[in-house]
Amino acid sequence: MIFENNLAFAQSLDQQDPLSALRNEFLFPQQNGKPFIYLCGNSLGLQPKSAKQYVEEQLGNWQNHAVEGWFEGDSPWMFYHKTLKELMAPIVGASPQEVCPMNTLTVNLHLLMVSFYRPSGGRFKIIMEAGAFPSDQYAIESQVRFHGYDPREAIIEVAPRSGEYTLRTEDILKAIADQGEEIALVLFGGVNYFTGQWYDMPAITKAGHEAGAIVGFDLAHAAGNVPLKLHDWDIDFACWCSYKYQNSGPGGISAIFVHEKHFQDEQMQRFAGWWGYQEAQRFKMTKGFVPEAGADGWQVSCTQVIPMSLYYASLRIFEKAGFIEPLREKSIQLSAYLFYVIGEVNKSLGEEQYQIITPATAADRGAQVSIVAKYKAKEVFNALMANNVLGDWREPNVIRLSPVPLYNSFEDVYTTGEHLLNISKSLI
């Protein structure tokens, strides 16, 4: 598509957008009586208007049924997570049996590493991307120490080449091949939180398996953002939060994926809890843990009903959108238009004040454009905020802007570019 940097063109794209009405499903924060142009869905998604309705339904069940709400009412809590599983599965390319909403992200990462990081003999190393989100770094380091290894020896971080911001797939695959039989686990993010780079997950998985390792992914910035085929790509396990691109609210429920090929492994280690026990026998309260079939067998504590109701509100909107493929088509165009608009800003300024560090190729990125502001970066970010454009700041000079296809428009992107240009002229 040949883009134009004017309001009429942006509005024409919005008029042609079959998903434009979904914007009305969300509540936008306001400042000085005007809604923000919200470009921070990579950090926290907007609140669905229906969220209050679904929470109030569960509060009503609590009020009317009390403890019997586990088995009575229109949506008994004992089975509530199963409704979500049906809606979650298409978003990540899995069967409902392979996914389960539960806990929070880093808790789930630890629980899954109990099962899938099993170092022994000379096979003890973990390969991950350098600059992963700190929570992943801390979790992996602590797991390595728990097993008695030195993180400096056991953790292999693959870093971008000198002068580059993103990883080359060939460098990731070479690192896996070089470590060979010493690798116990390959554990990457799906989309890098800082640059927005979407890693080649099928290639990484294939290389990890060829090296004899288990392969898992943290999909915090990928689930609900890019099309995933976790089952078909033969990924062993994954986990994600749901409060970014899936709009489940601050600290919202997390979820896991476990490939069905592991379901019959009777030697699988896990940290067990009552809610992961075989559902049909759970209330007999017998000794000796027998896991429920599928990903549900990794549950530890009982269903978190209120957080799940918030997630359910957003999942229903994904269902209305046709799940991920239609959203991805719009997302590619939104981000491409943002690339173009930032390029036009630089042209008007006569220099590259804003360096885009997110991959330009659509297949290598999701709904995020990270820019390095070369001059007065924090002042630029603060001025955007003052002009009702809410993005995300990362030290020392990176502004992340995430045009989310569920609720952002092409006019949002154009207007952001106009503000960025005017701010730059006033500051530089």
Domain chopping of the chain, boundaries = 7-35+324-427, 54-320
Same topology between domain 7-35+324-427 and domain 54-320: no
Considering only the top CATH level, what class is 7-35+324-427? alpha beta
Report whether 131 contacts 155 (CB < 8 A): no
The model's pTM is 0.97
- Give residue-wise pLDDT tens across range 210-264: 999 999 999 999 999 999 999 999 999 999 999 999 999 999 999 999 999 999 9
pLDDT at residue number 133: 95
Low-confidence ranges of the chain (pLDDT < 70): none
- Give residue-wise pLDDT tens across range 361-396: 999 999 999 999 999 999 999 999 999 999 999 999
CA distances for 315 relative to 84, 297, 308, 404, angstroms: 8, 23, 10, 15
pLDDT at residue number 118: 97
- State CA 132 to chain mean position distance: 13
pLDDT at residue number 147: 97
**What is the C-alpha to C-alpha distance for residues 356 and 343, in angstroms, rounded to an integer?**
9
CA distances for 203 relative to 214, 221, 324, 413, angstroms: 14, 19, 21, 33
- State CA 360 to chain mean position distance: 20
pLDDT at residue number 358: 98
Residue 64: phi and psi, rounded to 5, are -85, -25
pLDDT at residue number 79: 95
Residue with tokens 């069905």: 260
Cα dihedral angle (73, 75, 76, 81), rounded to 10 degrees?
A: -170
Strand partners for 339: none
Residue 338: phi and psi, rounded to 5, are -65, -40
Strand partners for 48: 26
For the residues of 278-311, what is the DSSP string, one character each? -GGGGGG--SS--BPSGGGGG--S---HHHHHHH
pLDDT at residue number 1: 87
* Strand, helix or coil for residue 47: strand
Could you list the beta-strand ranges (E) of 335-420: 354-356, 369-373, 389-390, 392-394, 398-401
* Strand, helix or coil for residue 102: coil
- State CA 7 to chain mean position distance: 31
The CATH number of 54-320 is: 3.40.640.10
Q: Which residues contact 348 (CB under 8 A, 6 or more apart)?
A: 421
Please state, rounded to an integer, the average pLDDT across all residues of the chain. 97
Report whether 245 contacts 224 (CB < 8 A): yes
Could you list the beta-strand ranges (E) of 130-182: 155-158
- State CA 16 to chain mean position distance: 28
Q: Which residues contact 25 (CB under 8 A, 6 or more apart)?
A: 48, 49, 50, 317, 320, 406, 407
**What is the C-alpha to C-alpha distance for residues 175 and 159, in angstroms, rounded to an integer?**
10
Structure tokens at 181: 């039989």
H or E element, residue 312: helix 305-321
**Cis before 396? omega within 30:** yes
